[in-house]
Amino acid sequence: MSVVVPVYQGEKTLPSLMREIAPFHVPSITPGGSSYAVTEVLLVFDHGPDRSADVIRELEAEYPFVRGVWLSRNFGQHAATLAGMASSGGDWIVTLDEDGQHDPSDIGGLLDTAMDQSASVVYARPTNEAPHGTLRNASSKGAKWLLAKVFGGENASEYQSFRLVLGSIGRSVAAYSGSGVYLDVAMGWVANRTATSPVLLRQEGDRRSGYSTRRLLSHFVRMVLSTGTRGLRVVSALGVIFAVLGVLMTVFIFVQRIIGGVSAEGWASTIVVILLSSGATLFSLGVIAEYIGVNVNMAMGKPPYVVVTDPANGPLGRKPTQNS
């Protein structure tokens, strides 16, 4: 089993997380009786603002099964997860966060669910509220509901960063996913069956969340665009709705004009119609532009991530020597 941990601000939380994972390097037995062992832990450095790089090197020296995966720059958690999955070699891949809210002892339960249900992807299903603010939790649930009901993301309500993936599936998806493809949507294209396993989320470690409102919104947009052309169909439906509203408004104004219920100028209704139609037009153009942008990036070959060697061991890490 390979464990992939995207690292952005892991200076304070990674050592304790590794102490929890280390006992599972020795073959262990799940509650359901399956045998497994964590053969490697891939810490994917995503160029965060703290000393995460130094901590990764220290953990590599302390644990022989820990390996750093070094990205060329900051690509984000999604890309870091893909890079770790592509670099893995286990029969199964587990992805979990660096902040400590995911308990490594729950990995056995995920594996039991996979074996019992012949599932190639198993998502952790929290039995408690995520350790975030009320507004963020509500926004997350609302976004997943909208993705599932409107944009066709069948398993969107199950998506979690704590997941167990069949190794061949995970590495294949990581290899072909373009810069605009969302990981969980891509796995849904090829996974035979997905399932969920109950877990209890813990409080995050002593660290500031790396997700701003802008990044969360970008995260949601990527999920929508990855679901296919459903977004364009929503735009088409929106156009039909506003066209119908325009006809109804025209009929209403015409009738009111005949019976004398509206003034001759009619500037108010004109402004309303202009604002509604222009707003719908601009929104539709924005959605279409996002789809075009995704396809342009993929056509240009923009990579979702680039893996390099540890900068400290390469040319950037060489110290100048003084000639004697």
The three state secondary structure string of 101-143 is: CCCHHHHHHHHHHHHHHCCCEEEEEECCCCCCCHHHHHHHHHH
> Over 60: is that where the pLDDT of 151 sits?
no
Same domain flag for 159 and 14: yes
Q: Are residues 191 and 146 in the same domain?
A: yes
CA torsion sign for 300, 304, 310, 311 is positive
Q: What does the pLDDT average to over 149-175?
A: 77
Instruction: Examine the domain organization and report whether 154 and 258 are in the same domain.
Output: no
pLDDT band at 235 (very low <50, low <70, confident <90, very high): low
What share of the chain in percent tops pLDDT 70? 63
Is residue 122 predicted with pLDDT exceeding 90?
yes
CATH of the domain at 106: 3.90.550.10
Write the burial class of residue 95 (CB in 10 Å: 0-12 exposed, 13-18 middle, 19+ buried): buried
Residue 220 lies in a domain: no
Task: Examine the domain organization and report whether 66 and 177 are in the same domain.
Answer: yes
Domain match, 272 and 149 both: no
Residue ranges of E strands in the chain:
2-7, 28-29, 35-36, 40-45, 66-71, 92-95, 121-126, 163-166, 194-199, 307-308
| 166 three-class SS | strand
- Judge if 202 and 97 occupy the same domain: yes
Same domain, 73 and 9: yes
- The model's pTM: 0.72
Q: Copy the structure tokens of residue 244.
A: 């119908």
Pick from 214, 28, 209, 191: nearest CA to 117? 191
Angle at 76 between CA 65 and CA 313, to 5 degrees: 45
Q: Write out the residue range of the structural domain in which residue 61 sits.
A: 2-210
Please answer whether residues 143 and 103 qualify as being in contact, where contact means their C-beta atoms are separated by less than 8 angstroms: no
Quote the CA–CA distance of 235 and 268 in Å, as a whole number.
27
Quick one: 190 and 79 in the same domain?
A: yes
Average pLDDT over residues 283-300: 66
Q: What confidence tens digit (pLDDT) does each residue in 62-91 have? A: 999 999 999 999 988 888 999 999 999 999
Q: Is residue 311 part of a domain?
A: no
Compute the half-sphere exposure of residue 53: CA atoms within 13 Å on the CB side of its CA.
Answer: 16
> How many domains does the chain divide into?
2
Q: Does one domain contain both 205 and 252? A: no
Q: Is 97 exposed, middle or buried (0-12, 13-18, 19+ CB in 10 A)?
A: buried
Using alpha carbons, select from 37, 34, 182, 25 the residue that is nearest to residue 114.
34
Whether residue 46 contacts residue 74, with contact meaning beta carbons closer than 8 Å, is answered with: yes
Q: Rounded to an integer, what is the distance from CA 70 to the centroid of its chain?
A: 19
- Residue 222 lies inside a defined structural domain of this protein: no
Domain check: are 102 and 204 in the same one? yes
CA 242 – CA 14 distance, rounded (Å): 52
pLDDT at 296 (0 to 100): 61
Residues 155 and 248 in one domain: no
**Residue 323 pLDDT greater than 80, yes or no:** no
Q: Which residue is associated with the tokens 């409102």?
A: 213
Q: State whether 252 and 197 are in the same domain.
A: no
Question: Looking at residue 95, what is its pLDDT?
Answer: 97
Please check whether residue 64 lies inside any domain of the structure.
yes
* Alpha carbon distance 281, 300 (integer Å): 28
